[in-house]
């Protein structure tokens, strides 16, 4: 990557958005005049309050009494990652994006930074000579504008002037209803150097899915963040909303972020998940064993919101356990049909609402523990995995209890991250539990 100053001059960039993903995957940061950003970065003068890693999804500060930083709110030093520089499409002023990593004044990384956490897990793998590669499949809905949160979401009208009223999985006529919007998404994504693959119409009304090309987990997570930002902007320009909620509509399927993972040898790049004859390698079985053993305890990292658990219901297209099987979409862990060079496992548990850095970190740390502890998976499931017992938590409250008791992962990810993350999620849960829903008023007001 060229010098940041040379890059912004060559591209004619006037402003740069400095991006720092918070615990919920919300992009925080600052907008700088390009010349100022270059000057500050060279002088090591980029700063941001550390309290951004204590923010709930509603923008409130979590009650983190153990962390004196929540009260003194010291600045973090931001170090730009020049490899992430890209054009930010759609702005009147020529603008660029760049991700930044948060550090203490002494240069140590900020332990509760999700981007750093994923880097940390990748580094654990690389210390063993294992290079993980990941590719998300991200689902989202287009909806009619909805300024009143008390009114349920509805599908938007397409170019025919009509809204979808029934399921149209893989429907070509259905996807061309929003052709102009989709073309704009691809144009913006190309301008931002996002490495996208195919887009399809999913099972829900005006529900779409985009596939990313596999790559380095941190770089791919960055691209998911930018893609979400781009899709929301494009949707608004076309007079609709785009939502990545896990379960935005009551009678429609949820939205997932399926994660395909493989591990290759760092020396020669061969896939460590398959033997030369195409059979499953021991490391592959151990990786799956680790996913089965640890993912149920790591649910808050891939199902971080109360709404996340509305998606994970039997026979609703989302898994309820960690059964695994070959080309079996009822399983939480699916092994696609591939040759040995492309052997991978698909983690179907994460929702589209998950912070991609944390969902990927959870997948990799569970697989890492499986490989290092040589865990064996259960027998493959060939039938309907919904007939097996539910092993995933049913609520965020239950998920947080299991998460806090997962000592092997806590030892790898750090106590500071665990305390910070659970403080935020506990604050969000408490806020939700104080809300009286329309369902309660409808069914209880005059009957109990």
Q: Where along the chain do the CATH 3.30.590.10 domains lie?
A: 122-413
Rounded Cα distance between 412 and 301, Å, is 15
The predicted pLDDT at position 65 comes to 52
Task: Give residue-wise pLDDT tens across range 177-223.
Answer: 999 999 999 999 999 999 999 999 999 999 999 999 999 999 999 99
Residue partners of 116: CB distance under 8 A and separation at least 6: 101, 102, 109, 110
Note the pLDDT of residue 325: 96
Domain 4-110 bears CATH identifier 2.30.30.90: no
Give the separation between CA 82 and CA 270, rounded to whole angstroms. Answer: 29
Helix extents (H) in 43-104: 69-72
Q: Are strands 324-326 and 333-335 parallel, antiparallel or unpaired?
A: parallel
pLDDT tens track for 92-137: 999 999 999 999 999 999 999 999 999 999 999 999 999 999 999 9
Tell me the C-alpha distance between 233 and 285, whole Å: 42
- Which of 301, 382, 316 has the alpha carbon at shortest distance from 347? 301
> Average of pLDDT values for 230-239?
97
pLDDT of residue 69: 54
**d(C-alpha 247, C-alpha 309), whole Å:** 8
pLDDT band at 44 (very low <50, low <70, confident <90, very high): confident
Buried b / exposed e along 406-415 (16+ C-beta atoms within 10 A): bebbeebbee
| Strand spans (E) along 213-269 | 241-243, 257-265
pLDDT digits (tens, 9 = 90+) for 390-426: 999 999 999 999 999 999 999 999 999 999 999 999 9
Is 90 exceeded by the pLDDT of residue 1?
Answer: no
**Residue 64 pLDDT > 80, yes or no?**
no
Mean pLDDT value of segment 5-28: 95
What DSSP string describes 162-196? Answer: -B--S--TT-HHHHHTTHHHHHHHHHHHHHTT--E
Task: State pTM to two decimals.
Answer: 0.96
Give the separation between CA 229 and CA 231, rounded to whole angstroms. Answer: 6
The pLDDT of residue 71: 63
Per-residue pLDDT tens digits for 318-371: 999 999 999 999 999 999 999 999 999 999 999 999 999 999 999 999 999 999
**CATH 3.10.20.70 domain extents, the chain:** 4-110
The SS3 assignment for 368 reads helix
User: How confident is the model over 282-324, as pLDDT tens digits?
Assistant: 999 999 999 999 999 999 999 999 999 999 987 667 999 999 9
Residue 149 has pLDDT above 70, yes or no: yes
Please, what CATH class does the domain formed by 122-413 belong to? alpha beta
H or E segment to which residue 124 belongs: helix 114-127
pLDDT at 45: 82
What pLDDT does residue 68 have? 46
**Contact by Cβ (8 Å): 75, 47:** yes
Distance, in Å, from the CA atom of 177 to the CA atom of 200, rounded to the nearest integer, reads 12
pLDDT grade for 3, boundaries at 50, 70 and 90: confident
Q: Under DSSP, is residue 146 helix (H, G, I), strand (E, B) or coil?
A: coil
Average of per-residue pLDDT values in the chain: 94
What is residue 315's predicted lDDT score, i.e. its pLDDT?
63
What pLDDT is attached to residue 42?
A: 83
Bridge partners of 33?
15
Label the pairing between strands 130-143 and 241-243: antiparallel
Q: What percent helix, strand, coil does the chain show, rounded to 5?
A: 40, 20, 40
């Amino acid at each position: 990557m060229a010098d940041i100053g040379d890059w912004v001059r060559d591209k004619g960039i006037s402003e740069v958005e400095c991006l720092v993903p918070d615990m919920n995957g919300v992009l925080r940061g600052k907008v700088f005049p390009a010349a100022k950003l270059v000057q500050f970065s060279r002088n090591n003068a980029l700063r941001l309050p550390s309290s951004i890693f204590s923010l709930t999804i509603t923008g409130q500060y979590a009650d983190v009494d153990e962390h004196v930083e929540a009260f003194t709110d010291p600045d973090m030093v931001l170090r730009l990652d020049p490899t992430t520089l890209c054009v930010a499409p759609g702005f009147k002023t020529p603008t660029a994006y760049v991700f930044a990593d948060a550090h203490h004044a002494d240069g140590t990384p900020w332990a509760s930074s999700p981007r750093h956490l994923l880097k940390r897990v990748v580094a654990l793998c690389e210390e063993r000579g294992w290079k993980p590669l990941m590719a998300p499949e991200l689902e989202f809905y287009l909806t009619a504008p909805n300024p009143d949160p008390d009114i349920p979401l509805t599908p938007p009208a397409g170019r025919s002037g009509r809204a979808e009223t029934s399921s149209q999985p893989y429907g070509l006529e259905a996807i061309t209803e929003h052709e102009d919007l989709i073309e704009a998404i691809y144009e913006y994504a190309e301008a931002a150097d996002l490495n996208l693959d195919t887009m399809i119409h999913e099972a829900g009304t005006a529900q779409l899915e985009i596939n990313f090309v596999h790559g380095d987990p941190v770089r791919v997570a960055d691209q998911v963040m930018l893609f979400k930002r781009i899709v929301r902007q494009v949707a608004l320009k076309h007079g609709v909303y785009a939502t990545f909620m896990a379960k935005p509509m009551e009678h429609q399927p949820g939205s997932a972020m399926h994660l395909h993972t493989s591990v290759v040898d760092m020396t020669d790049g061969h896939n460590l998940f398959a033997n030369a004859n195409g059979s499953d390698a021991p490391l592959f079985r151990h990786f799956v064993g680790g996913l089965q053993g640890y993912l149920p305890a790591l649910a808050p990292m891939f199902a971080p919101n109360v709404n996340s658990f509305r998606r994970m219901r039997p026979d609703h297209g989302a898994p309820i356990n960690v059964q695994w099987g070959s080309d079996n979409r009822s399983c939480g862990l699916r092994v696609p049909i591939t040759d040995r060079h492309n052997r991978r496992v698909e983690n179907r548990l994460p929702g589209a609402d998950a912070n991609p850095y944390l969902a990927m970190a959870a997948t990799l740390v569970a697989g890492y523990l499986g490989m290092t502890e040589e865990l064996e998976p259960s027998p493959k499931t060939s039938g309907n995995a919904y007939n097996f017992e539910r092993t995933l938590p049913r609520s965020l409250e239950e998920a947080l209890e299991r998460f806090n008791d997962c000592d092997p992962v806590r030892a790898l990810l750090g106590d500071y991250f665990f305390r910070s993350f659970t403080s935020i999620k506990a604050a969000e849960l408490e806020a939700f539990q104080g809300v009286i829903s329309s369902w309660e008023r409808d069914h209880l007001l005059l009957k109990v």
